[in-house]
Chains A and B, each alone.
Chain A
């Protein structure tokens, strides 16, 4: 695992990316979070840890995932489009890169139980999977609304032996599932590790999850070099819910200014419709789930319930690293509507024979706006597969 220690865009000693980040947590969580802050780097860079992590990524997750030249898509948009096939990871999304890393960490910390939150259910499934693999107890909190719209993943978690607990407060989606998982951790501080599913939460979670997901851009670099003779594309595009797949896809390009980093947020019914999850368009600086970042909130500082067709992007914040990339202008943000994402999802299915997760379809939907030229290279991070979304897609067939 190569890393960025000196980058302008990596976390500082106090857990900040520029003015975003930190650890805004009640005292009840302090000992656990401090334990992680002190130990996470030492643990994950131990040679045995690295060996075990990479062996599991290879033999269990199926890495490296392919970098696929999408011929017909490239033809349509008159450029060169490569798809990073995270959808081919075991369990169907990039989320497992992080859960493999964190379950190994939890074992090193001597924890016997795992709690997690989930939106689309992909992180819940990825967590339930590694818990089964390692023989640890698993509780997953999921918003009541998400339980309904992502039924196949609920069934998978149960089959994998996890207990799925509905979050019934607030908007009954990802934000509230995260609140419940944090409360669970407060109530069970000694034996339980909280596996956060994105680059959100108090320091060191955003940095730790980014490091586990960085394998994505580590592979893109050598794969692209092999295929084109140049390890740097002109654009890397990824969707952003909390931002973990984007963090992984951007990581090794953060300090390559020639590579344009593009984040696709969920525009919902449109940025000005009142039914959106486009955080950088609608939010301002605020604190949620333990870090300072960009947050959708009322004038009074109450968190706004977002909307997106995609459960995995239906979150009122973004990770602090992305807030910094946005604030510094290093990454460009697009708000993709529900409709545009569906169109892109159907387009990829018909042109390339790949049904993407609706989350990932948001990244694909940037292509028409990009106007990349015929000699440019575009890498799109296909964060997950669409099996879980068939019910939603079928409504529009």
Chain B
């Protein structure tokens, strides 16, 4: 069974998904970060595939993308780094990134590599739903990859239902209309939106992302969904670490979020 599906069956609440950019802060930190995430009790690791033009991302993640690219990160390098990772890391791994580098790598080749190294799911925010459904879905399924869609407070009910119907794993519920890196926390308008989606009785569990940064926001978000996703704040933790403090900082931070 896909590790993401299995996770939600075994743990329907308080799921913590942590995003980090591959090759950041240093090229070879990818596996160090993954191992530290598993050790500290993160439930899902979401690895960002860096891109020169990440339009849905705020400054923090943009800069981490640029640093990673300057470090020499690419899909080729990432798959090399992930070779053999399943001997050490058993939590679900998701690759997140923009469609262009994936298309240049070759969709089929990309999916094959994902399966080889043990990737469970993909988040490709600029892949159109229809294109996914008509062209990509069969290939993703062939290689055991779940495609995770985003919804926002502006996504219509009909579209949410369609997403729920054609995807598996979980739905990424963006907390507010914004790029990543916001600091608003969870507001009343967001609660209305979360409740509205919860009342829809969807097949797929939801994780709330954007603006989650600590135990307070994680706990609050977890009341309205199966758990939450942290990105920019974790990137800041990585940014403020040195080679020697990286591992401990990660473990300490993740533990503090889980409380």
Contacts and interface: CB of A to CB of B under 8 A. Distances in A.
Interface of A: 14, 22-28, 30-31, 169-170, 175, 179, 182-183, 186-190, 285-290, 295, 297, 299-303
A135 to B, nearest CB: 25
B52 interface: yes
A289 B98 CA distance: 11
Tier of interface size on chain B: 35 or more
Contact of B126 (A169, A189, A287, A303): A287
Contacts of A189: 154, 177
Nearest to A23: B128
Given A24-B127, A290-B126, 20 more contacts: A25-B128, A27-B150, A28-B56, A28-B177, A30-B155, A170-B52, A189-B177, A286-B103, A287-B98, A287-B100, A289-B53, A300-B74, A300-B76, A301-B100, A301-B104, A301-B105, A302-B52, A302-B101, A303-B53, A303-B100
A214 to B, nearest CB: 27
Interface string B119-154: 000000111101100000000000000000111101
Contacts of B58: 183
Interface of B: 51-53, 55-56, 58-59, 62, 66, 69, 74-76, 98-105, 125-128, 130-131, 149-152, 154-156, 159, 174, 177-179
Given A27-B150, A182-B55, A288-B53, A300 B75 contact: yes
A285 B174 CA distance: 30
B126 A25 contact: yes
Nearest to B127: A24
Which 4 A/B pairs are nearest by Cβ-Cβ distance?
A: A301-B104, A301-B101, A27-B150, A26-B56
Which of the listed residues B76, B100, B105 has the most CB atoms from chain A within 10 Å of its own CB? B100
B179 A170 contact: no
Contacts of A303: 52-53, 100
A132 B95 CA distance: 45
A288 B152 CA distance: 22
Contacts of B151: 27
Nearest to B63: A169
B58 to A, nearest CB: 7
B165 to A, nearest CB: 16
Given A27-B125, A169-B62, A297 B100 contact: yes
A22 B126 CA distance: 11
22 contacts: A26-B126, A27-B152, A28-B154, A28-B178, A31-B154, A169-B66, A179-B55, A186-B56, A186-B177, A187-B177, A188-B177, A286-B100, A286-B103, A287-B98, A288-B53, A288-B100, A289-B55, A300-B74, A301-B100, A301-B103, A301-B105, A302-B51
A28 B150 contact: yes
Contact of B174 (A23, A28, A288, A297): A28
A299 B104 contact: yes
B255 to A, nearest CB: 31
Contacts of A288: 53, 100
B145 to A, nearest CB: 19
Contacts of B127: 24
Contacts of B62: 169
A90 B151 CA distance: 42
A28 B104 CA distance: 24
Contacts of A188: 177
Which of the listed residues A24, A28, A186, A189 has the most CB atoms from chain B within 10 Å of its own CB? A28
A188 B182 CA distance: 13
A183 B155 contact: no
